Chains A and B, each alone.
Chain A
Amino acid sequence: MTTRQEQDLRELLDSDSAEGLAERTGGHRGVTVADVDARARAIRRRRGRTAGSIAMAALAVVAVASLPRTEAAPMPEDVWTGVLAQPGSAPAPERSLPALPLYHRYERGGERETIRFRASATGVTFGLSCPADGHALVWLNGRFVASGPCGPTVAEPPGWLGDPAVAREGVNELTAALVPASSAGSGRMTEERAEQLLAATPAYPAAWRLTVLDTRTLDCRADVIRIDPGSGEIMPSCSSRR
């Protein structure tokens, strides 16, 4: 694709949407917070109705199951009976879970918090943003996979925690906790040490955030920088856009 053709495409997209928007907002207010609130209420109502329908269906199943049982008369042997197989269509419950990239905010240190997310079987890596006196501990599907300090070498969090871990296909469970860096020390963090540290740390208020990314989409993110976990050096981000 030539630069001129790319420029033509960019200009077309820009002018089409800008002209229309100008006309639209000339006699129209565009999208407002009030519009969004109204839509959010409608979504809540719809979800409520769906949940109600599911509850009613569950009640109906329970009611049918609790009816007195009757037995059919024995079938003559020369009468053929059969049921056509039907493909199953039960909705997968994990579809409602968030997928990668995942950003999760925490409000407390000294206690573990678990969230669930969907992923394909892929490498995941963790970005950390936390106060300078913190040290994060991360478990993925029950395995201790990452740990790392916040600051003082981390000038602009988030920084990366250790090597990538591997998520499994479908639902994954992420558990994370923050402990004071002073109690974490500078030695190698093992799962046993992490458990001991956490058990010895009372809960305390702390605002911190964990980002989970698919390693295949790691490069070139504007909101994430790379930091060498050993030296604390800020690594250069991608040099070219594509």
Chain B
Amino acid sequence: MRDRADFERYVEQRSARLLRTAYLLCRDWATAEDLVQTALARAWLAWRRVGANPDPYVYRILTNTHASWWRRRWRGEVATGELPDGAGPGDAEAGLGTREALRAALTALPAKQRAVIVLRYFEDLPDEEIAAIVGCSVTTVRSQASRALAKLRLDPEARAAMETGS
């Protein structure tokens, strides 16, 4: 996969999905479009080297670019404090509150942890592939995911481990 037609086909087929991924990374549609355009433009400039499956390359640019923008810009985000406890069964209103809290907690995650969560639970990528994309070991991916889930209060064991410092 290396000629212009392949690239155009790739953009047409994958840009919507990439846009969703980028949005989940930055939580802003204009920035997400910027991210996807930058990632695809850089992929095009290196298209000869990209190989048959451009996804790992494009995802790597996407997450790296987002991380560097995240470091450079003030994002206007404020981390939430304590999250409300989980809703009881059938409590729709509390359910919505939990959903909002979960969304706020996701937004407050550091860039790398958010990338791991998005790649794992939205893109359904295996940890090994995530490690190659974010540029770290599989162990680091798992520890980042564990920390992120603890912050989202989805993994009580990990949260307890973090709170006790173990």
Residue from A38, A101, A129 whose CB has the most chain B CB atoms within 10 Å: A101
With A17-B24, A216-B138 as given contacts, are A35 and B121 in contact (CB-CB < 8 Å)? no
Please, what's the 1-or-0 string for B30-51, where 1 marks a CB less than 8 Å from any CB in chain A? 0001001110111011101111
State in angstroms the CA–CA spacing of A12 and B24 once bound together: 10
Q: Does A219 contact B (CB under 8 A)?
A: yes
Residue from B46, B118, B121, B128 whose CB has the most chain A CB atoms within 10 Å: B128
Please, what's the 1-or-0 string for A1-35, where 1 marks a CB less than 8 Å from any CB in chain B? 10001101110111011101100110000111101
Q: Does A98 contact B (CB under 8 A)?
A: yes
Report whether A103 and B51 are in contact in the complex, using a CB–CB cutoff of 8 Å. yes
Residue from A13, A209, A211 whose CB has the most chain B CB atoms within 10 Å: A13
Q: Does B132 contact A (CB under 8 A)?
A: yes
Interface residues on B, range: 35 or more
With A13-B121, A103-B53, A223-B52 as given contacts, are A21 and B2 in contact (CB-CB < 8 Å)? no
Given A103-B49, A220-B128, 8 more A-B residue pairs with CB atoms under 8 Å apart are: A8-B99, A16-B103, A17-B20, A20-B20, A31-B18, A36-B44, A217-B128, A221-B128
24 A-B pairs within 8 Å (CB atoms) are namely: A9-B154, A10-B121, A10-B122, A13-B122, A16-B103, A21-B19, A21-B23, A30-B15, A31-B15, A35-B33, A36-B37, A36-B41, A37-B41, A42-B41, A43-B45, A44-B45, A98-B49, A103-B50, A103-B51, A104-B51, A105-B2, A216-B131, A217-B138, A221-B128
* B interface residue numbers (CB < 8 A to A): 2, 8, 11-12, 15-16, 18-21, 23-24, 29, 33, 36-38, 40-42, 44-46, 48-53, 56-57, 99, 102-103, 106, 117-118, 121-122, 126-129, 131-132, 135, 137-138, 149, 152, 154-155
